[in-house]
């Protein structure tokens, strides 16, 4: 069982289109150079991945705590009072869109994470981002869903097993952060 699970993970990674992952790295580096913000969001396990990605990219790419020139990474999944206020008053579909309306500027980057690619609040925020001049990246699974069709870069994990999709997304987080850290160190 153990070996077959990791063989399946390996098979998914081999089947993935690697170009979008490398493109995401380049977008992050460009955002860093231009002083742009990178916003992360998702639901459930994808919310945890958004938080993790934000933390690793913002802190894990620094050579030391005294370093200047930092990546401006922001997770929209972490302000529980703000999220619940919007959800209670206007509906769960607006929780990420409304945060972007407060914080984002044209040229900033969004990373929308959805295993199915069909989470209504993720789609709504991505539609907002596209209409307001933000660069949109999706991390999807299944068939990519609607999210995979509306982002500029879609990092797609070709699996219909949510656990495997979420697990590979986390592997990708660490890969991307490692590559960004290496490139910034040069």
Q: Where are the domains of the chain?
A: 2-185
CATH architecture of 2-185: 3-Layer(aba) Sandwich (3.40)
Question: What local confidence, expressed as pLDDT, does residue 53 receive?
Answer: 98
For range 131-144, the mean pLDDT: 98
Rounded to an integer, what distance in angstroms lies between the CA atom of residue 171 and that of residue 48?
Answer: 13
For range 121-130, the mean pLDDT: 98
Question: What local confidence, expressed as pLDDT, does residue 48 receive?
Answer: 98
pLDDT tens figures, 151-181:
999 999 999 999 999 999 999 999 999 999 9
Question: What local confidence, expressed as pLDDT, does residue 66 receive?
Answer: 87
Q: Which helix (H) or strand (E) holds 168?
A: helix 162-185
Q: 40: which 2 tokens? A: 């992360």
For range 69-91, the mean pLDDT: 96
**pLDDT class of 67 with cuts at 50, 70, 90:** confident
**pLDDT class of 71 with cuts at 50, 70, 90:** very high
Question: What local confidence, expressed as pLDDT, does residue 3 receive?
Answer: 92
DSSP for 96-131, please give it: HHHHHHHH--TT-EEEEEESSS--HHHHHHHHHHHH
For range 11-38, the mean pLDDT: 97
Q: Which helix (H) or strand (E) holds 75?
A: strand 72-75
Question: What local confidence, expressed as pLDDT, does residue 68 receive?
Answer: 84
Tokens 């990791």 correspond to: 6
For range 97-101, the mean pLDDT: 98
């Amino acid at each position: 069982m153990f070996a077959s699970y990791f063989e399946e993970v390996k098979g998914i990674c081999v089947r993935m289109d690697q170009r979008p992952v490398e493109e995401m790295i380049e977008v992050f580096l460009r955002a860093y150079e231009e002083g742009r913000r990178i916003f992360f969001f998702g639901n459930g396990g994808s919310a945890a991945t958004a938080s993790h990605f934000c933390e690793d990219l913002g802190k894990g790419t620094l050579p030391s705590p005294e370093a200047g020139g930092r990546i401006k990474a922001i997770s929209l999944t972490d302000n529980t009072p703000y999220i619940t206020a919007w959800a209670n008053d206007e509906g769960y579909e607006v929780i990420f869109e409304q945060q972007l309306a407060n914080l984002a500027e044209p040229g900033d980057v969004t990373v929308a994470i959805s295993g199915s690619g069909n989470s209504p609040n993720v789609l709504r925020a991505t539609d907002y981002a596209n209409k307001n001049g933000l660069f949109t990246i999706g991390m999807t699974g299944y068939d990519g869903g609607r999210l995979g069709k509306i982002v500029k870069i879609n990092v797609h994990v070709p699996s219909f097993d949510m656990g495997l999709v979420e697990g590979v997304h986390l592997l990708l987080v660490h890969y991307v952060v490692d590559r960004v850290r290496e490139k910034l160190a040069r």
